[in-house]
Amino acid sequence: MDLAGLAVGWYLALSVALFAIGGAGLLVRRNPLVMFMCVELMLNAVNVAFVALGAGLNDVGGQVAVFFVLVVAATEVVIGLALVVAINRRRSGATADDVSLLKG
């Protein structure tokens, strides 16, 4: 258990690092494409945590949750890329801040 615990700790550290990098990227970058990549990074950081904890606690639920996250990520990418294409058709080279006109 000690060995597994040590290994899980490292995996979790990796997950936190990836999540932080993704989050920071999401907040500082203005290119929508890059922002989506950051979101993907955050989702996958969570996946790492799920898998690590699933293995460490010997619970298959962790792996199952990953499948759900993958499905959500896939749909999110589909919608996100559609948005990116739509924005680029209208105004090429636009940033995420340029579409603030949609506010209520």
Partner 1 sequence: MIEAAWLICAFPLAGFAVLLALGRRLGEPRAGWLATAAMAGSFVTSVAVFFSLMGRDPAERRFVVTLFEWIPAGDFSVDAGLLVDPLSVTMALFVTGVGALIHLYAIGYMHGDGDFSKFFVYLNLFAFSMLVLVLGDSLALTFLGWEGVGVCSYLLISFWFTDEANATAGKKAFITNRVGDWGFMLAMFWAFGALGSVRYLDLFGQAGSLSSTTATAIVILLFVGAAGKSAQLPLHIWLPDAMAGPTPVSALIHAATMVTAGVYLMVRVNPLIAVADAWAPDVIAWVGVATALFAAGAAMAQNDIKKVLAYSTISQLGYMMLAVGTGAYVAAIFHMVTHAFFKALLFLGSGSVIHALDGDQDMRRYGALRAAMPVTAVTFIVGWLAIAGVPPFAGFWSKDEILAYAWDASPALWLVGIVTAVLTAFYMSRLVFMTFYGEARHSSDAHPHEPSRLMTAPLVMLAAAAVVAGGLNLPFTKDLHFMGAWLEPSLFGNEAHLGLGGGAQWLLALVSMAGAAIGIAGAAAVYLQHRLPASRVELPAAARAFYVDEAWTRFVGGPGRRAFEGVAAFDANVVDGAVDGVGRSVRAGGAVLRRVQSGFVRSYALLTAAGAVALLVWFLVRTSF
Secondary-structure percent of the chain, ordered helix, strand, coil, rounded to 5: 85, 0, 15
Rule CB under 8 A: choose which of 15, 18, 35, 49 binds partner 1: 35
Using CB under 8 A as the binding rule, whether residue 96 contacts partner 1 is answered as yes
Q: Give the DSSP per-residue string, 47-90.
A: HHHHHHHHHHTT-THHHHHHHHHHHHHHHHHHHHHHHHHHHHHH
- Residue 68: which of 54, 47, 95, 83 has the closest Cα? 47
Among 23, 51, 84, 94, binds partner 1 (CB under 8 A): 23
For partner 1, which residue of 8, 12, 26, 84 counts as binding (CB under 8 A)? 26
Interaction mask 37-76, partner 1, x per CB under 8 A: ----------------------------------------
Chain residues that interact with partner 1, rule: CB under 8 A: 23, 26-27, 30, 35, 96-97, 99-104
